[in-house]
Structure 1
Amino acid sequence: MKIAKFTTQKKNQDRLNVFIEREGREEFAFAIDVDVFIKYGLTKGMELEDDFVRDVLEAEEAQKAYKLAINYLSYRMRAVSEVRDYLVKKEISEPAIKTAIARLQDQRYLNDAEFAKAYVQTKFNTSPSGPVKIKRELEQLKIDPEVVESVVSDLTHEELLEKAGKFVKRKQMETNRRSATEVQQRIQQTLVQRGFSFDIISEAIQTFWEEEDTDVELEACLKQAEKLSRKFNGYDAFERNQRMKMQLRRKGFPYDVIERTLNRLFEEES
């Protein structure tokens, strides 16, 4: 085969169509990136051996992988595994993926340690996620376990306590319609799901939970009792009273608050 001519693609000036001469006629052979064209020094009239063409096409595949990855990285930082998965979906060959990733790592466009560090700070500052959840997410991205442990441990005790504490203070407002016990249980469940340790959660509740005003808890209990009264309206007074006590206790209200609430409710009804 002999190169007959090159033409620039209309839609992409960085790509060239290569035509060869075969049996006195010109025919399209393949398309390559201009960087590959320069690297291999292709010229009109050059004789093309099969091994040489194979090397050129492998370089073209690697260049394609590299440019796809560069575009993918232009939106935000990525883990190596994300780039690999993306190129696999684009049906890039494994050798080309390896070559492109190695090139990107050499140029520091890809660095799992730097990615993990930025990921932790971004997640912690802009989402409700705690360290356990963030660690799990990084492991799912196939970041080296030692790197994960190192970057997650950079979160200080004070930072974790402050974030959990803000949640405690915000959720305590719900005591106007729920018992303090129930609200605290909900806080614990939510913070565990978000990836905070039991030690941090307990300390946050002890530190940031403000002592309840008895009247506030009484009003919350009364709201629940009014709902239960309607629910158990079909029972006689004694049975309704027992069922309401049991339900209110399950919701975490203290016995003395329940007694005061029911007395007040029944006084209003009589």
Structure 2
Amino acid sequence: MIKITNITSAKQEQAVLEVQENQVTHHHVVSMHFIYTHHLEIGQELPTAFYRQLVQENEYDQLYNKALHFISYQMRTISEVKKHLGKSTSDESVIQTIVDRLKKDHYINDATYVKEYVSEKLEYDIIGPIKIKEKLIQKGIHYDLIDSELQRYTETLEYAKMEDFIRKDIRYTIKKPYRKYIESLKRKAINRGFHLHVIDSAIVSFKDDILEQIDDRELLQKEYCFLRKTHDIDHYDDRQKLIQKLLRKGFNYDRIKELLEEESPC
């Protein structure tokens, strides 16, 4: 027989059940509801089989409540719930039983999760479809569900998002050569999950707007004057070499030409 030696109240309607088995003391965190349901009290003696049943039932209850808490403040995918419960138990059958119960009670549903996740991203975030798909895959969502919902993310909408991204990025003066800035802009857009052909198309459309925000005159003049020391711009080959070097540094060709036509920029 196993004897209950103490019951101590804990936080959040929990209690610590202390039992003694063969002079060994065990502690179990249980809910107060569990105590009341099974009419447990100090001094009570429990048959071994009944005690083992209580331990198993309590483990399930604790895990189920842990799952409920996990999904109470944020929508979760089935995979996320399984991973969370896996931190507390290695019993896959218990985890699956809890997941099945949550699904039956409509607490978790991957199809609903994907629909709301995509809607939120389309409504509020400047993010491309590639990044959305990547994030959903990481959350354990099946490809078919993702692809079905991403049909709503049309190329027209992606282009509009990319335009918003560029407008936001060029709100302030840009202290970089044109090409360097474009390279940086592309990297950021790719990281946000936009398709490369959409990125390139939007950049072409915004070329003049970008150039207006770029203030690289000082940088260009500094590089130009440094190269003038070793290049004779009155000599065609030297002049072309100087232009090529400035282009490789990311400066815009038209601005280089303008500088070359000035009488004495240095």
TM range (shorter): 0.7 to 0.9
Shift of 1:165: 0.8
Task: Return the match for 1:224 from 219, 223, 231.
Answer: 219
Residues 96-155 of structure 1: CA deviation (Å, up to 9, x unaligned): 322322222222222222222222233444544211011011111111111111222222
Which residues of 2 match residues 29-178 of structure 1 at below 5 A? 31=28, 32-37=30-35, 48-50=47-49, 52-91=50-89, 93-172=91-170, 177-178=175-176
Asked whether 1:235 is paired with 2:233, we answer no
Name stretches of at least 5 consecutive residues in structure 1 with no aligned partner: none
For the residue of structure 2 that corresponds to 1:195, the secondary structure is: coil
Q: 1:49 to 1:174 in 2, by over 3 A?
A: closer
CA distance in 1, matches of 2:193, 2:14: 48
Q: 1:42 to 1:172 in 2, by over 3 A?
A: closer
Asked whether 1:253 is paired with 2:252, we answer yes
Residues 209-246 of structure 1: CA deviation (Å, up to 9, x unaligned): 264699x59x8563332231354475354598555412
Q: 1:177 to 1:30 in 2, by over 3 A?
A: closer
CA distance in 2, matches of 1:213, 1:119: 32
Q: 1:171 to 1:28 in 2, by over 3 A?
A: closer
CA distance in 2, matches of 1:125, 1:49: 58
Q: Tell me what 1:17 maps to.
A: 17
Q: Tell me what 1:209 maps to.
A: 206
CA distance in 2, matches of 1:99, 1:34: 23
Q: 1:240 to 1:232 in 2, by over 3 A?
A: farther
CA RMSD of aligned residues (A): 3.8
CA distance in 2, matches of 1:267, 1:21: 97
Percent of aligned pairs sharing the same letter: 22
Shift of 1:252: 5.5
CA distance in 2, matches of 1:199, 1:65: 48
Q: 1:89 to 1:231 in 2, by over 3 A?
A: farther
For the residue of structure 1 that corresponds to 2:62, the secondary structure is: helix
Q: 1:221 to 1:41 in 2, by over 3 A?
A: closer
CA distance in 2, matches of 1:98, 1:8: 31
Contact 1:61-1:96 at 8 Å conserved across structures: no
CA distance in 1, matches of 2:3, 2:195: 67
CA distance in 1, matches of 2:17, 2:112: 39
Contact 2:220-2:251 at 8 Å conserved across structures: no
CA distance in 2, matches of 1:136, 1:163: 18
Q: 1:244 to 1:220 in 2, by over 3 A?
A: farther
Q: How many correspondences in the alignment? A: 260
Q: 1:242 to 1:65 in 2, by over 3 A?
A: same
CA distance in 2, matches of 1:125, 1:36: 44
Contact 2:130-2:195 at 8 Å conserved across structures: yes
Contact 2:10-2:16 at 8 Å conserved across structures: no
CA distance in 1, matches of 2:140, 2:53: 32
Shift of 1:16: 5.9
Shift of 1:81: 1.9
In the superposition, the TM-score normalised over structure 1's length comes to: 0.74
For the residue of structure 1 that corresponds to 2:260, the secondary structure is: helix
